[in-house]
Structure 1
Amino acid sequence: MPGKVIHYFAGDYTAKGFYPLYDFSFQGLDQVFMLQGLPYTGKVDVMKKLLKEWEEKDFNVEAIHTSTDNQGLDGIIIPQLKIGIYGAETPLLNFDLDHVEYINMNAAINFDQLKDQKDQILSLKNKIKKARLEAVNSFKKGLEIHDELEEIYIDEMNFAKADQLTNDLINHLFTTKSTSDTNPVVKRRFFGASTPEGVTDYIPNLTEDLNKRYFIKGRAGTGKSTILKKIAAAGENLGYDVEIYHCGFDPVSLDMVIVRELGFCIFDSTDPHEYFPERESDEIVDVYAEAVTPGTDEKYADEISNLTRGYKSYMKEGVAFLKEAKQHDDELASIYQDAVDTSVLDSLFESIQMEIGKK
């Protein structure tokens, strides 16, 4: 039976700029194969082949997706072997270099074939950079409007009731300390991201093996992220490994916490990642009903509608810029494609596969 593949993002273009969390995914590994070189050298093809090979060998694999390309990968991890393969352009920081093996992916490119296209390559790279910057600017404007929306609900919040709700949740979720005798591991990720094809998330995949799922319902500014931060801190303090999923729009905020040792997740189940209970064990936590002045939605209906429409328009605009960047990126990839020696790629794949097989 094939192994299980879990999917997530570890980097995203957000209202705060590009926000990398790759180091958290690659912590604690015995070996990392660092695929160095241009993005168009066949890195993704090699990683996809490795993922497929080890999934078919009944190993669980983590697929770290690329937010700028819905078909791309930034890396894969084989937890049982404590091995990772990393292909993103963002450097890994605070990482033990003794555990890194560098793979020169540029070896697969015949750069002589690209000399006549130097100007076109430079032009496309500038267009990609500009479009991604415009996407971030759009998301930033959207967040500014979203902050205004939050203020409406913050002014109508009963914070004492919100605190009580949080404390009750923590006491319900954590009845004992962890039985593990190792230091807790905190992994920070994104379950979703703004991509060229729109907002994408992997919540069903990440939560399908959990016994208990809590769906937080509420409005902007009702403290959903604060609740999640307190739950994550409580779990870590009690010795549990915690998966923390940041918001792909505003990465300072949190959208989900998973404690696999206890078999539960709790997540912000509102637009653009709104889900509803499907299993008997699923449960809704309604912050609006518990801690917001009744009738707030109706009282500020017009203002809420206008602000919501405003920030969503900027989100849509940002995604359009990411789509534009992807189109330029595809043009660039097609230029490099003819210069890539697939036999060298096959050789690089085989060498990595052989090294992993020694574990």
Structure 2
Amino acid sequence: MTRPGAVSHYFAGANTPGGFFSRYDQIAPADARKVFILKGGPGTGKSTFMKRIAEELLALGHDVEYFHCSADNEGIDAIYVPAADAAVLDGTAPHVVDPKYPGAVEEIINLGQFWDERALRSPEAKERIIRLTRGYKFWFQRANEARRAAQAWLDEWAAYHRACLDEDRMQAAGEAILAELFRGAPADGQDSTDPAPGRPGRARRLFASAITHGGPRSFLGPVFNGVRRRFVLVGPPGTGKKTIVQRVVDAALARGLDADVFHCTMYPERPDHVRLRALSAGVISSSWAHEYTPGPGDEVIDTGAFVDPAKLASYADAVAGAEAAYRAALRREVEHLGRAKAVHDELEQCYLPHMDFDGIERVRRETLERILACIAEGQADTGA
């Protein structure tokens, strides 16, 4: 009996204060064996198309990476199959993807060819589609405004802790983590697992959590479950958690170690967590929006201990007010995302009755066969 493949869960995009932030270029390598880009409107079956391919591949024993939709808890935006070095992804807004190397790497699959255009262009359907599309954008913009407000309050909340932070103690904690992580590890640029010693490590940058219409959703548990050594940073904002994670990322890459870097959805250029597969180690930043429950053997570092409590006491009322306003703004964002999701669900209903799903299923089967062919090519290349 074939053992089912393993599933990994990530986000490749997220709602941020600057709008939707895409890391879709991190789903598959730029020179991947194959990338299938799905095009088509809402309700055309893109998520189901990918889920069914993934389910069949898993049943055949192949590992699959799921990239979840941050706007829809049940939706899938992409899958990547490591054994095939192939991906299938939703290339429509807000994460528009177009081929960089058409034919050589990417190929567009247009699911729009399977809708009944005459039905969609009827006056009633056309008016409804335009109205609902505008409504969805309206509520998504309101969610972005709430996210920007949350960021402003988070900045203020962090500022009070930063003003009372003992930088030396925070930096010393970072040094201790680095020393423990890299004890016995190769010298800079000499990763023993690297076929070309001396090169810098490579970073794959994704999100492990997102604020969705159902509230905060995190995959930190699945991402770090298989990691042997975990350092868990807890503490309020402004106490150096991201600084410590960034130092670990920089040190790992300088040593030639590849890193899975998971970024913050509030500050998408800054890392919240890092996983180092070669060392079976990781550093996790746990906070309200992406809480992580430490397990046996995890080393927990409370960065709040680096704050002078006497100094912080003078800001007590302001701290409480900023924290409350931050949480309220995030709740407001979730409410607006819920309204956007409801409108989007209604928009999907405009298309569902007018789709040729038998035709889509034929293309899905063809796509699955081509991914299996990519797996065979990869096995032939490696002699497996």
Q: TM-score range by the shorter chain?
A: over 0.9
Q: Which amino acid aligns with 2:115?
A: I
Q: Any conservation in 1 of the 2:91–2:98 contact (CA below 8 Å)? A: no
Partner of 2:377: none
Helix, strand or coil at the partner of 2:268: coil
CA distance 1:155–1:80, shift in 2 (3 Å): same
The Cα shift of 1:195 comes to 0.7
- Name the counterpart of 1:329: 344
SS state of the match for residue 35, structure 1? strand
The residue number in structure 2 matching 1:38 is 41
**1:126 matches 2:131:** no
Counterpart contact for 2:203–2:253, Cα < 8 Å: yes
Segments of 4+ in structure 1 off by > 6 A? none
> Is the Cα–Cα contact under 8 Å of residues 23 and 95 in structure 1 kept in the other structure?
no
Q: 1:159 deviation in Å?
A: 1.5
**Unpaired segments of 5 or more residues in structure 2?**
375-384
Distance 1:41 1:148 in 2: 43
Letter of the 2:20 counterpart: F
1:255 is aligned to 2:255 = no
> Residue 349 of structure 1 aligns with which residue?
364
Shift of 1:297: 5.2
Q: Indicate whether 1:181 and 2:195 are aligned.
A: yes
Letter in 2 for 1:115: R
Which residue is 1:18 aligned to? Answer: 20
Query: Percent same amino acid at aligned positions?
Result: 27
Supply the distance in 1 between the matched residues of 2:9 and 2:367 (Cα, whole angstroms).
Answer: 22
- Unaligned segments of structure 1, at least 5 residues: none
Contact 2:11–2:70 under 8 Å retained in 1: yes
1:91 is aligned to 2:96: yes
Measure the CA separation in 2 of the matches of 1:149 and 1:316: 17
Match of 1:3 in 2: 5
Deviation for aligned residue 1:96 = 3.5
Residue 212 of structure 1 is matched in structure 2 by 229
CA distance in 2, matches of 1:11, 1:241: 21
Conserved? CA contact 1:153–1:221, under 8 Å: yes
CA–CA distance in 2 between the matches of 1:80 and 1:295?
56
Counterpart of 1:112 in structure 2 is: 118
Preserved contact between residue 10 and residue 207 of structure 2 (Cα < 8 Å): yes
After superposition, residues 1-359 of structure 1 pair within 5 angstroms as 1-27=3-29, 28-89=31-92, 90-92=95-97, 95-97=100-102, 98-116=104-122, 117-175=125-183, 176-177=185-186, 178-179=191-192, 180-182=194-196, 183=199, 184-279=201-296, 281-289=297-305, 291-296=306-311, 298-359=313-374
SS of the residue corresponding to residue 257 of structure 1 reads strand
Alpha carbons of structure 1 residues 94 and 242: separation in structure 2 relative to 1, 3 Å: farther
Deviation at 1:284, TM superposition (A): 0.1
* SS at 2:354 equivalent: coil
- On the 8 A contact 2:220/2:292 being kept in 1, the answer is no
Which SS does the other structure have where 2:74 is aligned? strand
Residue 168 of structure 1 and its aligned partner are, at CA, apart by: 2.1
Between 1:176-185 and 1:114-123, the stretch displaced more is 176-185
C-alpha distance in 1, partners of 2:70/2:311? 36
Note the C-alpha offset of 1:241.
1.1
Secondary structure in structure 2 of the residue aligned to 1:128: helix
Distance 1:282 1:23, change over 3 A: same
Residue 238 of structure 2 aligns to which amino acid in structure 1? G
2-structure distance, mates of 1:227, 1:147: 18
CA–CA distance in structure 2, aligned partners of residues 120 and 300 of structure 1: 52
RMSD after superposition: 1.6
Please give the per-residue CA displacement for 1:86-109, whole angstroms capped at 9, x wherever unaligned: 114223479443211221111121
Displacement after TM superposition at 1:113 (Å): 1.2
Q: Which stretch shows the higher mean deviation, 304-313 or 23-32?
A: 23-32
Q: TM-score, structure 2 length as denominator? A: 0.89
CA deviations over 1:137-163 (Å, ceiling 9, x no partner): 111011111111111111111212222
Q: Distance in 2 between matches of 1:29 and 1:310?
A: 45
Deviations 1:269-288 (A, max 9, x none): 12122233222x21101222
CA distance in structure 1 between the aligned counterparts of 2:343 and 2:8, rounded to whole angstroms: 29
Q: What secondary structure sits across from 1:256 in the alignment? A: strand
Segment of structure 1 superposing worse, 140-149 or 86-95: 86-95
- Look up the equivalent residue of 2:117 and give its one-letter code: F
